[in-house]
Amino acid sequence: MVSKLLKIKEALTIQSFFSVVGMTGFEPATPRPPDVYSNRAELHPELLTYFASRLHVLSLNFARSKIVISCRVNRFIVILFLVFVAATGAFAQKKYTISGYVKDISNGENSIGATVYIKELLKGTTTNAYGFYSITIQEGDYTMVVSYVGYKDIEKKVTLNKNLQFNFEIEEDVITTEEFKVVGEREDKNTQEAVMSTVELEVQKVKSLPAIFGEIDVLKTIQLLPGVQSAGEGNAGFYVRGGGPDQNLILLDGAAIYNASHLFGFFSVFNADAIKDIKLIKGGMPAEYGGRLSSVLDITMNDGNFKEYKVDGGIGLISSRLTVQGPIKKDTASFIISGRRTYIGDLVQPFISDSSKFKGSNYYFYDLNAKFNYILSRKDRLYLSGYFGRDVFTFVNKDDGFSMNTPWGNSTVSLRWNHLFNDKLFLNTSAIYTNYKFEVELGQNDFEFKLYSGIRDWNAKLDFNYLPSILHNVKFGANYIFHKFIPSNATAESGDVEFNTGDIVINYANDMALYLSDDWDINEKLKVHGGLRYSAFQHVGPFKRYNNDEFGNPKDTVVYDKGETVKFYHGLEPRFTMRYAFNDANSVKASFTQNYQYIHLASFASVSLPTDVWVPSTDLVAPQFSTQYAVGYFKNLKENKYETSIEMYYKDMQNQIEYKDGALPKDNAGNNVDNAFTFGRGWSYGAELFFKKRYGKLNGWIGYTLSWTKRNFEELNNGLDFYTRYDRRHDASIVLTWELSKRWSLGATWVYATGNALTLPVSRYFVNGQLVNEYGERNWYRMAPYHRMDLSLTLKGKEEKKFKSSWNFSVYNVYNRQNPYFIYFTSEGNIYEGSLDIMAKQVSLFGIIPSVTWNFSF
């Protein structure tokens, strides 16, 4: 009945992959450019002596070769030589390296992205993700300045005549008066870095903003940035520059989080207490990142306090949090453990009477974050971090004997080893495991139905950071991921009879990448980031391809053996960003990036759900590919008190995936999920305006995005272009925090977004006396615009010696706007009696919601 065809294809092993691309001989090949700045440096007396001796040798050589050189020519050569030496002084002059770590004095945590610069040269660098910096410059006397937003600057005089190591401990700047920060504020990161479309958020800022039910949510906060579109309530998925929610790479300590939401998307999985740093890259993606088209959200967990034990916690309306951290060995090893659990479902339990048919139904979620880190030596450091989170939803309806149990969630483990080969070469080695799974168990009477889907990754990474001179920041590395996809594994039984839900179709894939990039200060005005990423993806057996008839019934199957290549894709991804600075406070930037994405999320529903399945590129599904162009103008005002920018982008996305019209989730059983896919193209363009006040009693930002996002699929919407559901003509946000006094502070946010595009029925007909909807063009209808204001007020308790506490009062949706969540059409009455009433109804989720949270730490 089912014919089995065996295809033998050449299996491409990982080893052969690496040998093909020359892994062993992989080194930064960029030739060292002349150090143009050194022509401003004065000639050192020692150097003159050196010149003299060289000249002597030179003239000797001339003499020996018996070439008669006229005086004039001779002088000309000498001048040329002098110019050459001056221009290449770097080669002649001695260079030394200053390197080390920047840490927070209070807890010993690494400071990511702190600026370390040399006052005399007006040049510097920033610390990497592990707080490490390295600067290589000519010998001499310098003043080093370490600066970090919200912290006091540190100045240090150094005499550089050998390689030096300095670890800086920076202290939080409690007095945030404007006068204070202006002094020594030389940080023009916004205008000066060859990085665009990138935002870093401080967790402290995020915590001071209002949040629904007081649940601080970093995913909701990044949606307040221009270019990042929220899907509204009940959807943690976010949309960056017209890309889908699966096009965002969400990393927690380097581990990919495949479903970043709890409760069908109402809350994110990130517990703010466990987070140190949040970085969002929405364009101009550096070569070290890859695998997704639209953005990277790189979240770093706290390392744990190296100095003292500390407990932080919060008690809120729907959940509580507790974090414990401290040194295992002071200044050498530390840990942090942070947990959060919701209890609204439990609180409701006593009020559900025993006779209620829903008794036994419950819902809760919890998160656990843990991290240990150990400084083995000045050159070696180990990190072990993990995340475990689960949503548990139980539904019981005694009336019809129905029960449902659905646990789902992510777990990740990251083991990382930092190693300093020398003062210029830093290596981070990571081994990462990540697992997302969704399970559903349904039972009614004798029927039992189980569904299991998920994705598991084993990931190994080598990331080198090479800082040969102050003008270069070279990064290179390799990445290998083994994916295991379980698209949907269903079992169903009735009594003793097991239904035929088909073989479990598990997909396996090797995902590989090599990259090289350099941040290069060509001169004072021009800085470039150039990078190249080579990525490859191999879908391997065991695999079974079902070839079906038009009704989805199996015709025949193709079987691939274990290790056999089903399909191999690979490609080059160039990444290029340049900055041209008119001066410290003004610059233009442009970027060009190309990305491949080899794994995909396919969603039936219009919101992202835990049931959505991740699928690999296969013999049917080609990798997604995007090309993005962006240009921007950046200007800082009043000593960097204000940052402003305007960016424009155009993004083209090939091989986008949707389900075919009329595909149903049940069709996945005993089938390949991708048999139900159809493919098309997407594109998006727009402009983003950003205005930020960085410090002062009142600070915050205003963002505005004007954009268009469309798709075209041959098999959808009769082949005509259509807007995506989250196409947003206008998207604006205002975010403010205001320190009213030492104890009181106020946070406010306001958002406005064009309504979602929807497919609604345009006409009706009757079959069997029932109303049937006929739908119009895809996404022809626009819901009403979404807008909302939230406020929060924080009262810090009186400072006691050790114990600190604060109250946070927040009001969500202050003016009680009824924002549309979805629209449905309904009818009442009987057509045959002429009493039929047809209505369109709009459902809103959250009206005004006040909440209160008590936070403490000791």
Partner 1 sequence: MKTIKNIFLVSMVLFLASCEKEIDVEIPLTTEKLVVEGAIEQNQPPFVLLTRSSDYFAPTDINTLKNIFVHDAIVTVSNGTNSVQLQELCTENLPDSLLDEISVLIGISVIDIKTFGFCLYTTLNTSIFGEVGKTYTLSIQAEGHDLSASTTIPAPIAMNYYYYEDQPGFSNYGYLWFNQTDPPEYGNAYRIFTQRKGKDGRFLPADGSVWDDKLLNGLTFNAFIFRGHEPNSTAVEDNNETSEYFLQGDTVFVKFCTIDLPHFEFWETFETAAFNNANPFAAPTTVKTNIQGGGLGVWGGYGASFDTIVLQD
Query: What would the DSSP string read from start to end of 368-393?
Result: EEEEEEEE-SSSEEEEEEEEEEEEEE
User: What SS3 class is residue 760?
Assistant: coil
For residue 536, give every residue at least 6 positions away whose Cβ sits within 8 Å of its Cβ, in sequence order, or none.
Answer: 17, 510, 511, 512, 513, 568, 569, 570, 571
Residues 314-333 that bind partner 1 (CB under 8 A): 318
For the beta carbon of residue 555, count every other beta carbon within 10 angstroms. 11
Residues 440-459 that bind partner 1 (CB under 8 A): 444-447
Judged by CB under 8 A, which of 40, 764, 807, 858 binds partner 1?
764
User: For residues 194-206, b (16+ Cβ closer than 10 Å) or e, as one string?
Assistant: bbbbbbebebebb
Looking at the Cβ atoms of 567 and 725, the one nearer to partner 1 is 725
Question: C-beta of 350: minimal distance to partner 1 in Å?
Answer: 14
Looking at the Cβ atoms of 265 and 703, the one nearer to partner 1 is 265
**Beta-bridge partners for 266:** none
Judged by CB under 8 A, which of 768, 798, 800, 801 binds partner 1?
768
Looking at the Cβ atoms of 741 and 770, the one nearer to partner 1 is 770
d(C-alpha 148, C-alpha 694), whole Å: 12
For the beta carbon of residue 851, count every other beta carbon within 10 angstroms. 19
Looking at the Cβ atoms of 10 and 399, the one nearer to partner 1 is 399
* 91 touches partner 1 (CB under 8 A): no
d(C-alpha 823, C-alpha 826), whole Å: 10
Looking at the Cβ atoms of 481 and 607, the one nearer to partner 1 is 607
Looking at the Cβ atoms of 200 and 441, the one nearer to partner 1 is 441
User: What SS3 class is residue 806?
Assistant: strand
* 832 touches partner 1 (CB under 8 A): yes
Question: C-beta of 779: minimal distance to partner 1 in Å?
Answer: 11
For the beta carbon of residue 794, count every other beta carbon within 10 angstroms. 22
* 675 touches partner 1 (CB under 8 A): no
Question: Per the structure block, which two tokens stand in for 61?
Answer: 């050589």
**Which has the closest alpha carbon to 797: 806, 808, 784, 785?**
806
* 840 touches partner 1 (CB under 8 A): yes
Residues 784-803 that bind partner 1 (CB under 8 A): 784
Residues 183-242 that bind partner 1 (CB under 8 A): none
d(C-alpha 580, C-alpha 155), whole Å: 28
Give helix 45-64 / helix 71-87 axis angle, nearest 10°: 140
* 842 touches partner 1 (CB under 8 A): yes
Question: C-beta of 680: minimal distance to partner 1 in Å?
Answer: 16
* 351 touches partner 1 (CB under 8 A): no
Judged by CB under 8 A, which of 10, 354, 774, 800 binds partner 1?
774
- For residue 213, give the DSSP letter: G
Residues 357-416 that bind partner 1 (CB under 8 A): 358, 361, 363, 393, 395, 397-402, 404
Instruction: Please give the single-letter amino acid code of residue 193.
Output: E
Residues 547-566 that bind partner 1 (CB under 8 A): 551-554
9 Cα distance to chain centroid: 36
- Pick the stretch among 431-439, 603-611, 680-688, 707-715 that binds partner 1 (CB under 8 A): 603-611
Residues 11-50 that bind partner 1 (CB under 8 A): none
* 761 touches partner 1 (CB under 8 A): yes
**Binding-site size, partner 1 (CB under 8 A):** 95
* 767 touches partner 1 (CB under 8 A): yes
Looking at the Cβ atoms of 679 and 738, the one nearer to partner 1 is 679
Cα dist from 104 to 114, 293, 336, 371, whole Å: 11, 34, 16, 17
Question: C-beta of 755: minimal distance to partner 1 in Å?
Answer: 12
Looking at the Cβ atoms of 179 and 833, the one nearer to partner 1 is 833
Question: Per the structure block, which two tokens stand in for 252?
Answer: 């927690």
Judged by CB under 8 A, which of 132, 264, 569, 598 binds partner 1?
264
- Pick the stretch among 173-181, 244-252, 599-607, 744-752 that binds partner 1 (CB under 8 A): 599-607
- Pick the stretch among 122-130, 493-501, 569-577, 799-807 that binds partner 1 (CB under 8 A): 493-501
- Residue in this structure with the two tokens 């799974």, named with its chain if needed: 437
Looking at the Cβ atoms of 559 and 845, the one nearer to partner 1 is 845
Looking at the Cβ atoms of 404 and 588, the one nearer to partner 1 is 404
- Pick the stretch among 177-185, 305-313, 496-504, 805-813 that binds partner 1 (CB under 8 A): 496-504
CA-based torsion, 751, 752, 756, 761: positive or negative: positive
Q: Give kind and range of the element (H or E) at residue 45.
A: helix 45-64
- For residue 855, give the DSSP letter: E
**Angle, alpha carbons 727-728-733 (nearest 5°):** 145
Whether residue 455 contacts residue 438, with contact meaning beta carbons closer than 8 Å, is answered with no
Looking at the Cβ atoms of 150 and 554, the one nearer to partner 1 is 554
Looking at the Cβ atoms of 362 and 411, the one nearer to partner 1 is 362
User: What SS3 class is residue 165?
Assistant: strand
* 263 touches partner 1 (CB under 8 A): yes
User: What SS3 class is residue 52?
Assistant: helix
* 838 touches partner 1 (CB under 8 A): yes
